[in-house]
Structure 1
Amino acid sequence: MRRCRVMGGAATSASPSVGSDSGSNMLWFYTDDAPGLKISPTVVLVMTLCFIAFVAALHVFGKIYRAKAGAGV
């Protein structure tokens, strides 16, 4: 595996800059020009917390259902 050496603060001209218009730039996915659904980080956080709460509720309901079903036997 190759390792990149960090030079003493001098930037080379071969390295891509943040503002470049190259198609292989990773930041292109996070611009307004990127295709697809545009969701803010706040919406993603809320959806994640709702999913966690839903899974926790399923666990609780499963325990209650199992306790009631087992008590009648």
Structure 2
Amino acid sequence: MWSRLFFNWDRGALAAAEVALLLVLVAWTAVAFARISRVAGLLLVPYVLWVGFASVLTWAVWRANPDLL
């Protein structure tokens, strides 16, 4: 959904909110998995970092271009 919000519909604020929600949910999933299997939780760490980077990047681009997004 992020791609549609950000690129097709030019909704920077909604895209930032969506990716922030994704970050929270992925982090929560990693913690929940780690309770069952430490390895499973650790395997999600790169994805948490990637979504965190995408969140910061989305926020920065949106704030730098408020008239376009």
| TM-score class normalised by the smaller sequence | 0.3 to 0.5
What TM-score does the superposition give when structure 2 sets the normalisation length?
0.39
**Greater RCO structure (CA 8 Å; 6+ sep):** 2
Larger radius of gyration: 1
What TM-score does the superposition give when structure 1 sets the normalisation length?
0.37
